[in-house]
Amino acid sequence: MPVARAATPAIAALVAAGIPHTVVSFPHDPRSDSFGDEAVHELVTTGGLVAEQIFKTLVVAVPKGLGVAVLPVPSKLSLKAAAAALGAPKATMADPAVAQRSSGYVLGGISPLGQRKPLPTVVDSSALEWDRVLCSAGKRGLDVSVDPRDLIRLTKAVTADIRAP
């Protein structure tokens, strides 16, 4: 009997770690380039969720490499705060091609989980205000709902307020 495979490396990482999760799919419009806003629109209107519990994953460049910032979709990233949380003097947004190569995911589907090469990660502290948060499951139109403490533990993340004022 064949063994079932997880749909993405992010889901495989959750399964391997034994972390309870729910996979949530929504229609992705291939013409859309505002992936987080698309997820919020679909999940808030159809899933009864609050926009601030849907998180985006951004790859940042720091002097010694790359890092990952995970924050609510409606928020803007404070690069200064992300850099400080990652122990770097500064941070800039990573080149999209570099982010895709490093993570193994396409833009709009970058998950903090199951990345090709694990990177230092910071999760916005607001995640801890929720019982469950959603983040990309590694594919456009696919999110995963998890306990934020499990997300932080599995990604070995630090927490900090990384939202721009």
28-37, 38-47, 58-67: the lowest-pLDDT one = 28-37
What is the predicted pLDDT for the residue at 126?
Answer: 98
In the structure encoding, which two tokens stand for residue 116, read together?
């090709």
Q: Residue 59 domain-assigned?
A: yes
Task: Report the alpha-carbon distance of residue 150 to residue 159 in Å, rounded.
Answer: 13
- Total domains in the chain come to 1
Q: Residue 14 domain-assigned?
A: no
Q: Mean pLDDT highest for which of 1-5, 41-45, 160-164?
A: 160-164
Q: Residue 63 domain-assigned?
A: yes
62-112 tens-digit pLDDT:
999 999 999 999 999 999 999 999 999 999 999 999 999 999 999 989 999
Q: Residue 6 domain-assigned?
A: no
Residue 140 DSSP class: T
Over residues 47-68, mean pLDDT: 94
Is the pLDDT reported for residue 127 higher than 90?
A: yes
Is the pLDDT reported for residue 29 higher than 70?
A: no
What is the predicted pLDDT for the residue at 1?
Answer: 36
Q: Residue 79 domain-assigned?
A: yes
What is the predicted pLDDT for the residue at 4?
Answer: 44
Q: Within a 10 A sphere around the Cβ of 99, how many other Cβ atoms?
A: 22
Is the pLDDT reported for residue 140 higher than 50?
A: yes
Quick one: pLDDT band at residue 41, thresholds 50, 70, 90?
confident
CATH number of the CATH domain containing 48: 3.90.960.10
| Domain of 37, in residue numbers | 21-160
Sheet holding 65-72, edge to edge: 92-93, 55-62, 65-72, 121-124, 158-160
Classify each residue of 36-72 as buried b or exposed e, where b means 16 or more C-beta atoms within 10 Å of its C-beta: bebbbbbbeeeeebebbbbbbbbbbbbeeebbbbbbb
Quick one: pLDDT band at residue 137, thresholds 50, 70, 90?
very high
Residue 58 DSSP class: E
Is the pLDDT reported for residue 3 higher than 50?
A: no
Q: Residue 36 domain-assigned?
A: yes
Beta-bridge partners for 135? 144
Q: Residue 93 domain-assigned?
A: yes
Q: Residue 61 domain-assigned?
A: yes
What is the predicted pLDDT for the residue at 50?
Answer: 92
